[in-house]
Amino acid sequence: MKRVGLAAAAAFVSVNIWTGAPLLALWVGSRTVPDSGLSMSAVFVVVLVLLVSVLGLAWLLNRLNERYNELTGVPPAQRRTSPWLRSMRSEREELVHQKQGTSAIERVVVVSVMLAAAAFNFWFFFLAGSPI
């Protein structure tokens, strides 16, 4: 039950990275716009709120992933090096994947991003009346 709760929380946080954080940033920015029109300070507020909220949600998603791994008994992952920073003679990705695997939280995030991209494409091409 705890694993399902953590996966649901991860799905909620993942979706809010793409939807809730930008909406919150725009709402806060709309409260700072003067009556004369758009100002650079309002744009800065939107960017700052978006940055803080996305970083906070990403941190929360990382903590949820760590908690899920603790709950399922997955050992803490060693530091991962991005593929473009690896040496050509470094350990093969298949071996790292066999050792660490893919957690359910990572799958939830990938699925939520794919659904968000599909929903955006559907809206853009069929509902928004785009000129394309």
Kindly report, residue by residue over 88-101, the tens digit of the pLDDT: 665 565 665 566 66
Domain that holds residue 96: 2-76+91-127
**132 is a domain residue:** no
**81 is a domain residue:** no
Q: How many domains are there within the chain?
A: 1
pLDDT tens readout for residues 29-83 = 989 888 888 889 999 999 999 999 999 999 999 899 888 888 887 776 666 666 6
> Which of 15, 10, 24 shows the shortest CA–CA distance to 52?
24
pLDDT at 24: 94
pLDDT at 65: 86
pLDDT tens readout for residues 11-36 = 899 889 988 999 999 999 989 888 88
**85 is a domain residue:** no
**82 is a domain residue:** no
Contacts of range 76-80, beta carbons closer than 8 Å, 24 or more positions apart: none
Start-end of H helices in the chain: 2-18, 20-32, 40-72, 93-100, 104-122
**58 is a domain residue:** yes
Residues 6+ apart with CB under 8 A from 14: 61, 108, 109, 112, 113
**48 is a domain residue:** yes
**83 is a domain residue:** no
